Chain A
């Protein structure tokens, strides 16, 4: 019985847990509620993946109203995969969050944090699972608003301005998206994604439709921090509470990338349409710049969280590059990198949060020699850094491999070189962190530090091990991603 309602439960469970946290505002109880809700969401997402594997696309009518009039939740392999990634990352972060939030947020506000966290999770899961265009906007704004609040709860007062800036840019982005949706709706009369997919190809040359595509692209690019619309990201990730940084780094941009998939290849998925627009070239150029420019900026950062935030912008460039190649290995690489990067970045921000928890500072200079006093934390950061640069036997290599293969298949030799050069840039900033942590003499403060508490270290290490595991056994990542990519390209929805 429950199995039939899984799609709805995926969103409803965290949604209902959120006001519970708001009512029972005591920090530990709120944390427990968040833990249970998130783990339930994760289990549900795995069940959905297995269901879709077996039965094909799941269509769920909300309230029993049939689509295209009623809102439907439609689960295919692509969004089942993203659901799994989002809820999985959250499930690992919540155990970590307890100690981390205790140290960063005053007692009275902790319950609110978990409320916002659950709302953000609801929003992200909702964006992914829904089959209705306007519903996407609503859930997107739910997740965005709650993330603005989460970020603003950071200790440093710069979290406030970072959150404000994100608010302005994010709202512009979301409004552009809704403009695009509005134009599409005005032209086709439907808001249901599946229905849109049927109706748009007939009118895809019409100017409002092209305008809709443009608005959607710009709006989604703002949300996913595609260069040069990434300006909100570095400060937002740097000054947010560590658990929030980890969660947002792993999920928020990934869901926006999912929107790219859905709009480009399903709604606008008519035969050869995507390739006939200048979009693939534009996105490719922006992705290439994104692979290098933020990476180079990362090298010169003195705040470790900002360094890895810029690294995130660079890695997103890799993902969008895969999308612009619009071939099966390209989309496979993009999807796989969504999962791999989510795992690696969430893990990185968690372990950095461990350092911040003990040390109290985010400045790289203050971390000199910390590799001796916090060996497990730094070892984890090293492994995840290796994943970022794409060392073999880590998950990062698999994504880069597929992207390089996609470039090779289209005969773009120079692109293969650029993809690999981008990895070299990551090597430089990861190497910088490694050098400071291991090859400098620790200050007195650093020498007196203890290793991070287990409840924070273990979730981080779960993701470290996951990085290595998914670098060697790719059945869950590549296996699903490949089928998902194939279904996207054949516009099966």
Chain B
């Protein structure tokens, strides 16, 4: 039990990672896939940020009072990653809208039937 609590952040990360991937794979609805993808990406954010927090550390403020800093770098990286994630989901949803306009459905199985082979 203590090992789980000690590495709780990693357990949550893994749970979200696997959960997100499962949703992508298991669901045929395109929007749900994108939701799964988003959850999967969130797990990565946790993977980066959570080790960066040093227990007892502060934000990096230059002052004699503060000597132990939490790492600010993962926040920077993840901000970038979040932006990338947002762009990806936005693009994905735009595609879903266009697919719906074009095919009338956003279910994978129906789409496979509609697309004859040429």
Contact = CB atoms under 8 A, between A and B. Distances in A.
Chains A and B in contact, CB within 8 Å: yes
A175 interface: yes
A157 B103 contact: yes
B102 A160 contact: yes
Given A160-B95, A164-B99, A167-B95, A175 B44 contact: yes
B95 A172 contact: no
Contacts of A149: 91
Contact of B88 (A138, A158, A167): A167
Interface stretch (A12-20, A178-186, A268-276): A178-186
Contacts of A134: 77, 80
Closest 5 CB pairs of A and B: A157-B102, A141-B84, A164-B95, A160-B99, A182-B48
Contacts of A148: 91, 95
Contacts of B18: none
A251 to B, nearest CB: 20
Interface string A177-208: 01100110110000000000000000000000
A302 B116 CA distance: 12
B47 A179 contact: yes
Contacts of A183: 47
A152 B117 contact: no
Contacts of A137: 81, 84
29 contacts: A138-B80, A138-B84, A141-B88, A145-B91, A148-B95, A149-B91, A152-B98, A157-B99, A157-B102, A157-B103, A160-B99, A161-B111, A161-B115, A163-B95, A164-B96, A164-B99, A167-B92, A168-B24, A168-B33, A168-B34, A171-B41, A172-B37, A175-B44, A178-B81, A182-B44, A182-B48, A183-B47, A186-B51, A363-B118
Q: Which of A137, A157, A178, A363 has the most CB of B within 10 A?
A: A178
Contact of B92 (A141, A164, A179): A164
Interface in B5-32: 17, 21, 24, 30
Contacts of B84: 137-138, 141, 145
A183 B103 CA distance: 41
A239 B96 CA distance: 17
A303 interface: yes
B87 interface: yes
B81 A171 contact: no
A396 B73 CA distance: 45
Interface in B83-118: 84, 87-88, 91-92, 95-96, 98-99, 102-103, 111, 115, 117-118
Contacts of B98: 152, 160
A164 B30 contact: yes
A334 interface: no
Contacts of B92: 164, 167-168
Given A160-B95, A178-B44, A182-B48, A172 B24 contact: yes
Nearest to A301: B117
A178 B48 CA distance: 9
Contacts of B95: 148, 152, 160, 163-164, 167
A172 B40 contact: yes
A379 B47 CA distance: 54
B10 to A, nearest CB: 10
